[in-house]
A and B are shown apart, each in its own frame.
Chain A
């Protein structure tokens, strides 16, 4: 049985932990709203761009198509772009992302493909290094900026495009969490390069005869890198929203756990206090009777 002083200290330490988790929870809730708004604000651009892409990709086919659209012709070397957070305190979010990446990597390795990693964010580094130490091609650091924005997305995408142009991989997949609600963020694996253009007449201009300036191929060549950038950007935004959502949930749980723990410790503290008083009384009475 711990002494009264020890119990008191323990309760105080749990209380201050609870204060921290509570504060973090409220910060996350406030940031979540902003992150969600940002993710929603970015959606129209992505939608319109894919619509234009779809209407254009249908027209430019065959050998004339840019490399980014038709790929290198082989699918031997795969690159997994894994987007993780920079900070912890967000529950199992990073673990889930890493797990999804590893499942994909194992699947590709089982098919005899080569797999390498491009890591964004700090938290994915250690767990992926543990299993695939030699396969980490590049780590992109986003820890210095507070809110990764389009500038970071552009930097990441441009690096990927350079690597692709140098022929260092054939297919790139993007692994990132999709924000569904504060309770669930599911990691998904999405093909990034070559660009998988969704076919169909989604384009607003797809119906009639459309004039192109300078030309279909030039526009497509200009559009494809933009599309990759947008996808990376969308992934970053989803990640930001997921991080705050997961953090809010995790911190809520932690706060509640701390509360339970405090209650239990308080009961224990009161019991031992009473036990001590009882013992003292018994001793005094026994002493008085002995006289």
Chain B
């Protein structure tokens, strides 16, 4: 089952897609979000956000600064103030 993932900055909607898993740099440690994750709200620290499109694929890394992540019924929403796109590997 894919996970609905949205990455939003004040300037634009960076990503809105179905992915396998996202690893988020939470304020109290990194956590991975898969489909069916319990409702969860976390502050984020500056760091890499890794997006796994399919199980076992090479992750795409996005450098994010300042934000929060919200996991709800509708999937994962990451609100970041600034996003730097790294080389899209995978």
Chain A interface (Cβ < 8 Å from any Cβ of B)? 38, 41-42, 44-46, 48-49, 52, 56, 149-150, 153-154, 203-205, 207-214, 218-219, 222-223, 226, 229-230, 233
CB of A222 within 8 A of CB of B68, answer: yes
Chain A residues with Cβ below 8 Å from B70 are 48, 52, 203-205
Within the assembled complex, what's the spacing in Å between the Cα atoms of A230 and B40?
22
Any A CB within 8 A of the CB of B56: no
B residues in contact with A223, CB < 8 Å:
68
Cβ of A209: which chain B residues have Cβ within 8 Å of it? 39
Asked whether B11 lies within 8 Å of A149 as measured between CB atoms, the reply is yes
28 pairs, CB–CB < 8 Å, chain A vs chain B? A41-B11, A41-B12, A45-B10, A45-B11, A48-B77, A48-B79, A52-B68, A204-B72, A204-B74, A205-B39, A205-B40, A205-B70, A205-B71, A205-B73, A208-B38, A210-B41, A211-B38, A212-B41, A213-B26, A213-B27, A213-B40, A213-B42, A214-B27, A214-B28, A218-B43, A219-B43, A222-B43, A226-B81
The 10 closest A-B pairs by CB, nearest first: A204-B72, A205-B72, A41-B12, A213-B42, A210-B39, A205-B39, A45-B8, A211-B40, A44-B13, A208-B39
* Interface size classification for chain B: 20 to 34
Among A44, A208, A211, A230, find the residue whose CB has the most chain B CB atoms closer than 10 A.
A44
Separation of A219 and B26 alpha carbons in the complex (Å) = 12
- Whether B10 and A150, one on each chain, are in contact in the complex, defined by CB atoms closer than 8 angstroms, is yes
Q: Which residue of chain B has the shortest Cβ distance to A149 in the bound complex? A: B11
Residue contact B66 to A226, C-beta cutoff 8 Å: yes
Within 8 A of A (CB), among B33-89: 38-43, 66-68, 70-74, 77, 79, 81-82
A203-B72, A210-B39, A219-B41 known, 11 other contacts, Cβ within 8 Å: A38-B11, A45-B9, A150-B9, A150-B82, A204-B73, A205-B71, A207-B73, A209-B39, A211-B38, A213-B42, A222-B43
Least Cβ–Cβ distance between B81 and chain A, in angstroms: 7
Interface pair A42/B38, CB less than 8 Å apart: no
Give the chain A neighbours of B71 by CB distance below 8 A.
205
Contact B66 A211 (CB under 8 A): no
The B interface, classified by DSSP as helix, strand, loop or mixed, is: strand
Residue of A nearest to B73 (CB): A204
Chain A residues near B66 (CB, 8 Å)?
226
A48 touches B8 (CB 8 A): yes
Q: How far is A229 from B66 in the complex, measured between Cα atoms in Å?
A: 12
Is the Cβ of A52 less than 8 Å from the Cβ of B11?
A: no
* A150 to B83 alpha-carbon distance, docked (Å): 12
Q: A52-B79, A233-B10 are in contact. Are A214 and B43 (CB under 8 A)?
A: yes
A222 to B6, CA, bound (A): 20
A52 touches B41 (CB 8 A): yes
Question: By CB atoms of chain B within 10 A, which of A46, A49, A229 has the most?
Answer: A49
Is A210 a contact partner of B40 (Cβ separation < 8 A)?
yes
In the complex the two chains form, what is the Cα distance from A214 to B69 in whole Å?
12
Across the interface, name the chain A residue whose C-beta is closest to B44. Answer: A222
CA distance A238 to B48 in the complex (A): 32
> Which residue from chain B places its CB closest to the CB of A225 in the assembled complex?
B66
Residue of B whose beta carbon sits closest to that of A43: B13
Would you call B28 and A213 a contact (CB within 8 A)? yes
B22 smallest CB distance to A (angstroms): 16
CB closest chain-B residue, reference A222 = B43
Determine whether the beta carbon of A42 is less than 8 Å from that of B68. Answer: no
